[in-house]
Each structure stands twice: as C-alpha cells, then as structure tokens.
Chains A and B, each alone.
Chain A
Amino acid sequence: MTRILPPGTQELLAPDPLLVPPGSRTPGRISQRGPLRREGPAKLTGLAKYTDDLVFPGAWYGATIRSTEPRATLLGLDQDDAFDWTQVVVVTATDIPGDNVVSLIRDDQPILVPVGGEIRHQAEPLCLIAAADRETLRAAKRHLKVRTERLPAVFDPLASTEEFSHLEVRRGDLEAGFAQAELVVEGTYRVGHQEQLYIENQAMIAIPQADGGVTVHGSCQCPYYIHRALKRSLQLSDAQAVVIQAETGGGFGGKEEYPSMIALHAALLARKVGKAVRMIYDRHEDLSATTKRHPAVIHHRTGVMRDGTLVAQEIDVVMDGGAYCTLTPVVLSRGVLHAGGPYRCPNVRIAGRSMATNTPPNGAFRGFGAPQTEFAAEMQVNRIAEALDISPLELRRRWAYREGDTTPTGQVLRESVAAIEVLDAAAEASDFARHSAQTRHAREARQSGARLASGIGIAMGWHGAGFTGSGEVHIAGVASVELTDDGMIRVLSAQTEMGQGTKTIFPQLVAEELGLEPDAVENAPQDTSIVPDSGPTVASRTAMVVGGLIIKAARRLRAQVESVTDRPFVDSYREFALEHGALRVDEHFEPYPNVDFDDATYTGDAYPAFGWACAVARVDVDLDTGEVTVRDVVSADDAGRIIHPVLAEGQVEGGTLQAVGYATIEEIKLVDGRYLNDRLATYLIPTSLDAPRIEAILVEKPFSGAPHGAKGIGELPMDVGAPAVVAAIHDATGVWIHDLPATPERILAAMTGAPARGSPGVSAPAPKRGAG
C-alpha cells in the first residue's frame, strides 16, 4: 500500500503488509490521482515530436570527427585528395566567429580543438562535416585524417596535479571529538562512472536564419544554457539565437550541459552550409562522448561512543571531473554538503577536491554528487552499527536530524525535517526488524556449501532542494502567467518536460489558484523567443522554485483581474480579456525568508529545505557465483506537499531502479581513457526482469517557504537505493563491498578474501604493443 500522511501527522498508521511478494501484482494506489499527463495522449499515439521526428526539407546531416587518443597535440586535419570535398562542408575551430568555448562555469572546454591545440580526452570533438546525404557523409569521414603527437595522460584523480575546485566544511572541534571517541571506524569507498542512459539519444537540428541568426530545435533540459552558448560563440543577439525544446526522451542530468556542445556544432555547420543541419547522435556516439556521473573516492573516519553516540566525522571526497570543468565544482559542492548523511554530529570536517584527468568530462546526473557521498556515508553507518552490535535502524533513529538540529555548515533545520518519519515508514512497510532477525538467524545457521542467501539492508538520506547556496539568487529566475487576449490562460517558463511531469503540474498549480480546471491552462512552448528564463530544469528545483513563482504570478493575475471586474476571477476573466486585452504577470525570484549562505566561508543555509528518504532492499545472493537478485525495495520519500501522487511515485520508482542499477550492474570500464563498453549491448541497465518490486511511500512534511509547500523529489530516491542494496548484500553474505557496482566479481573476491582488482572509474593504460 502506498500512503500519504497528512501534513503534521506524527503517528504513523498501522504497519502495512510485507513487501510485495514476488509474483504478485503491485499493490493498489491511492485514490487522489491528479490530472492525467498533459502530453500523454501524444506520447501514447506516436504523435509527439522528438527531435529526430522533425522534418526540415533539404536538411543536411552533420557528423563530428573525434579524437582517438586521451591526450595529444593536434597537428593537422588532412583532407584526402582522393575525395571530392566540394560535395561536403567542413567546419574547424577557425570557423567559429566568437569564443571557442562551451560557455558554462570555466572557459576551458573548446567547441572544437584548434590545430596546434591540445586534445585532452578520447572522443573530443576536432572538426565537423556535413553532407546532403548519409552515404556521402560517411565517405567524407573516412577520408579525413587526423594528425597528432601523443602526450602523456593522467587517468587516476588521486595522481592528478590539476585541480578544478576544493572546499572544506568545518564544525566543532574535530580533535576533541576524536579524543573523546571510544571507537574509531575508518573506510574508503569508491564509485565509478554511471551513464544517464535516456532512451532518446542526444539530438539537435539547427536552421540558419536570414538575419544571420540561427534557430535550434533539440532534446535538452536547459534551453537558456544553449541560448547563452550560441550568443557568445556565434556572436548573436538575444533575438538572433532561438532555442526550442523538442519533446525530450529522458534527461536525468545528461541533457543539462552537453546539448550546448551539440547545438553549437549544428549551428556552426548550418551557417556554413546555408541549410538546416541535423546532428542526431547514435547510441554509440552518445555513450562514447557525452557526460557521465563523476567517479569518486571517499574516505571516512568516524568517532563514536560505545553507547552509539556520534562524536566526530572526518570525511575526504575526491571526485574525477574528467578533462574539462563542466559543472564539476557544483557537483563537488553538493557532494560535500551531503557527505555526512542526515545525522547530527557536533564535530565535523568534510574536505573535497575535484581533479582533472584525461577522460571524457563528467557532468550532471540525477543526485549530482550526493549519490556518491551518501553511498559512502550509509556504508559507514551500517559498518558502525555492526561494530557496535546495534541495529542499523536503531542507530539511525538515534542519529537522525530532528527539527532544531544544526548541520555542518551551521544551518539550523528549523522546519520540514522528516528523517524519522521516512525511516519509520520504510522500516514498517518492509517489516525490517522481523526480516532482519530472520536473515541473521539464517546466516548463523547456514551450512557451508549452501547455495543461496537472502539479506535485507537499510539506508537513509537527504537531498537539498533547489540550487546550492546562493544559486537561486544568482539565477534570478522569472516565470509568468498570462491571460491572453482571446481569454486563454497560459504558463510561461523555461522549465522543460522530459518525462517528470512539468507540463502536467504547472497547469494544475495555476488552475488551483485561479479556480479553474487544469485543462483551462496551457503551457507556452519552451522556446527562448517566447518564454522568460526561469532557470534550468535541474536540481529538483522545478516543482519547488518555479512552481512557487507561477503560483505567485497566478495569485497576482487573479487579484488584478478581480480588482477591475469586482467579480470572482472564474466568472469574469474571459470578459476582462475581451475588454482590456491580454494581461501578463511576471514573477521574479525572491530569496526564501531567513535563508542565507556565505559562498566564501561555506557556512549558513546550504539549501532552503531538504527532502528526506529511506530505502529498504531485500536481495538474494548466489554464494557460488556472486550473482545478486534484488527482490524488492521500499523507498519512503518526503518531498514536502505532494502535488501529483502518480507523478511523484513515478519519480521514486524510476529513481530507485537507477540506484539499483548503480549498485549492481552499471559500470564503465576504460582502457587508455576510452570507455570500453560504449554500446547498449555492453553497458547494461536493468530490464523489467532485473527490476525489483518497488514500493514508493510518499511522506509529506511541507516547506513553508514555498507557497504550495513542495520540495523537490526527482533526485531524492537516487541517494538511498544503492547503499540499501549493498547493506542487503552484506546481510546475506557477511562481506562489505566498498566499491560500486557490487558485481559478482567483487562479491566473490570479498568472500574469498582476494584483493580487489582496479579502482572503479580509473582507466587501464593503453595496451602495450608487442614488437612486430
């Protein structure tokens, strides 16, 4: 059963039945469902237009020539005389009118490596080719020779001397804390790359315009990132650069920043060809070249008392940024701010650094640094519980934040803290205590030679909603609600729909304020020539931050109309439009009250509010092969007021399965800085048969800073699934797997005491060539 707790509920309902037994149907859903998915019928009939479905007659096809070395000097791009180059168009770095950088945080990543410049990773874009048909394009690619001189490469972030960023968070007196501790537990945890694996590959189409500008249609999360990148590198005005989001087949962070690169490539080609150019990646190119979740090495040293009191946490986080900065400092920052877990500790030091390596740049992926550090934090809690012989559930109940507690940055958690509620909800729904006693008994009674073992594991987490620190203030998002002159209501924002439900909840929120049915409210298209910049669709900020803006805009619209008509909005808005014409209200972001962060010292309110989550996983482990079957996962998540239960459950279920994949099978192997498993046949994600039965429990602790009380939900479940699965593997086998994913090889190695081979995410060197 999935339950919703009314705001302020302290007592949980009676415990529900056990986890969903294998073979049974997923249990019933709550009745309050929210409106149907707005663009659902178009998606269900094949009418929804994704980028590759858009037809531009006469469009050419574009391709990217990429590096095949991890580090080298680019000496030349030689066009083979055997090919007729008049039938194609080639673009190199010299064709870029403005800055040769993909505009983001630091200006280090070129759009195309210039001749004489340095190639810094495998699959780096060197030049572009377009042709009228695919055959000619393929032939041209074969006849373009890249000349390079190889340079030494660095693959291990721990060996790198080039740092993108570092930061430190301190609270209390760490030395005194450790001096007081009766037990000190240390651990090093390592996680590798993870691919977002949206099922729609990256895709952009650019159309040159008569005014010298360019219009780009594409699959993306952040149209205004692309808009800024185009303006800067193509030297365009605001109006000359137009970015229009096509239907987007999944993002998960993978379409936050990389689409700017592809849009720049398509636009450069389109302007030189003088025709529309399609840049549609195939899966192999997408896997080889686009960003992944950051690998990380996280070291914990924790001081506790024998009675289980937590007295000191010292944590070091090293992230591998890859060859260019992209969003790495922000990912590191979120990782560090979540690294202690949702636990009260008086003496803390968390230090983080992000390093450059000669591997493709890493970037945004659901959770944005937190799944890495929270995996380590939860591993540490579970190991300490074992060392103290205290139930991991009980230890968390003692440590978990309550309202009034202070985080390592000095943030006082004044409200909307649901750590205990999610812990209890997940523990009860999964019957954690009973199953835990059973698996422990089975483990102790197990005969040698037994083949199968079952285990149960628990983990909890927190996730800051919205941008880190003063991020929202810097973004200064604007969103609008408009009464059009023909009497329609429409929402104007840059928030993209990529499956999570923006197009459904925005009309729902506005309709509620105006007293209308959701169908009476339209979404303006995510087109930079039409909608204002309400900020990127990232960081679990859409529902909370921009949802709050449009509610305020709707309230003002209603008040303005009613002040003129002197009648209820619902009865008078159409008349108002006929008489007075259109009325649009722009709402600008205002800082949340009492939320203050100092970027220089890393102190204060790191996030306006946190979401809270707890997962319980049950696994079966084959003790002969090390193979893991994740049977079921309960995930209890608090995202403040739930706007749309069906969509919210969908976020929890999907995020949980991505976390299960992260825990068990999703791994990228590298040789010479190149991803080896860069095809869908070799990079595996869970199928319907691999997927556990997932039960989503929605817990509601509203956030008063948002008019609707909502916090973010998209990333939250991703933080807790993986450590819960690894704890369950431990419960079954008795061994701790410190490195993700917990593959059969790692599990068998741990069970036999064999040393772990290689570090997740660190490339093997180039294979030695034998003489002759």
Chain B
Amino acid sequence: MSYRFFVNGDPVEVEVPGMRRLLDVLREDLALTGTKEGCGEGECGACSVLLDGAVVDSCLVPVCQVDGTSVRTVEGLGSEDELNDLQAAFLATGGAQCGICTPGMLMAAEAFIASGAPAGDEAIREAIAGNLCRCTGYTKIVEAIAQAAERRRAAGTGDL
C-alpha cells in the first residue's frame, strides 16, 4: 500500500505494509533516525513524535493511521547551528545528558508549550510524564521547558 503524509512540512509517499510502525517508517524508510526506540511498547516515550500536533508514541502507530496527516519529529526543530529556543534551553540548563530520551522529550515539550497552558512545575511534569529519563532526575528538563515556555510567552509565539 502507498501512504502519503507530511513530515516536518515536506510531503512524503511510502510504499509499505499498512501495519508497519510509524517509528520504522521514519527511521528506516525515511532515514530520520532522530526518533529513538526505547521499549517498543509505548512505555518510555523515546519515540514520541507529533501527529497533527498531538504527542504519540510512534512505536504504537501503524503507518496506515498516518495517511493524510502531518508528522513532526526532532529533525523539524532547529539545526545544530541554529537550535530553536527549546533546544537552546535544554543545552544551557543541562537538560540533555545521554540524549537518547531527548528527541521524544523535546516533542512532548513542544506540544505542551504550543498548548498555551501555564508552564508551572506540576503542569510541565504532567506533560512529560510519558517520557522516561534515567539520567537527569528530570530537574533540569523541567527547568529547560519552563525557560522556553516563558520566552515564547514573552515573545507572543506559542508555537515555533
């Protein structure tokens, strides 16, 4: 079967079985390896991407459900030379250590900030509760998200 959707704004078309995991389509068919696999059963959130703006575990989404949608991955944020404000906040605060949870964590944080919800400690922790991190104790991740949310609020742009 053939499926058409957008990835980070670009139209793509893949010819794959409909039950192929979005995670595999991204990593193996589209060579977007920024999205990681941590458990393959929706527990760790390392594979989180945005599907029409909502956070999903791409290991649990068959590609047939992605047809006609818009997918955003970590590759759609800032580049190495020009990090976006959320990535820059993670870098400055020490919110990324080993980095394997980071792409998924960033996508969950993007969705949270875009929602416009007040960025209090509890709300941020709730927003990333589906994303496990074993390195940081979450302290600096929460700090980074709060910083970026505040900057975007001040700049008047919820989304990128």
Contact = CB atoms under 8 A, between A and B. Distances in A.
Interface of A: 22-26, 29, 33, 36-37, 39-50, 52-53, 55, 196-201, 247-252, 282-283, 498-501, 646-647, 649-650, 653-658, 679-681, 685, 687-689, 691, 693-694, 696
Nearest to B126: A689
A331 to B, nearest CB: 20
Interface stretch (B61-69, B140-148, B151-159): B140-148
B41 A681 contact: yes
B126 A37 contact: no
Given A650-B136, A685-B132, A688-B129, A47 B34 contact: yes
Contacts of A252: 134
A637 to B, nearest CB: 13
Given A50-B100, A249-B98, A283-B39, A45 B136 contact: no
Nearest to A33: B92
Nearest to A286: B39
A650 B135 contact: yes
A655 B121 CA distance: 21
Contacts of A685: 132, 134
A36 B140 CA distance: 14
Contact of B102 (A43, A53, A679): A43
A696 B140 CA distance: 11
A45 B134 contact: no
A654 B97 contact: yes
5 contacts: A44-B96, A499-B99, A501-B97, A680-B38, A687-B132
Contacts of A680: 38-39, 41, 43-44, 132
B11 interface: no
Interface in B61-98: 73-75, 77-81, 83, 87, 90-94, 96-98
Given A26-B143, A681-B43, A41 B91 contact: yes
Contacts of A26: 121, 139-140, 142-143
Given A250-B135, A685-B132, A199 B80 contact: no
B120 interface: yes
B111 to A, nearest CB: 15
Contacts of A653: 136-140
A688 B125 contact: yes
Interface string B98-136: 111111001000000000000011101110111111111
Contact of B99 (A197, A247, A283): A247
Contacts of A247: 99
B81 to A, nearest CB: 8
A37 B96 contact: yes
User: Could you say which of A29, A46, A658, A680 has the most chain B C-beta atoms within 10 Å of its C-beta?
Assistant: A46
B49 to A, nearest CB: 11
Contacts of A199: 36, 38, 44, 46, 98, 100-101, 132-134
B48 interface: no
A41 B88 CA distance: 8
A499 B100 CA distance: 9
Contact of B78 (A45, A198, A200, A500): A45
Contacts of B132: 199, 680, 685, 687
A655 B40 CA distance: 26
Contact of B41 (A40, A283, A649): A283
Contacts of B79: 45
Given A200-B36, A282-B39, A656-B137, 15 more contacts: A22-B121, A22-B122, A45-B74, A45-B75, A45-B83, A46-B32, A199-B36, A199-B46, A283-B44, A646-B94, A653-B136, A657-B136, A657-B137, A687-B130, A694-B139
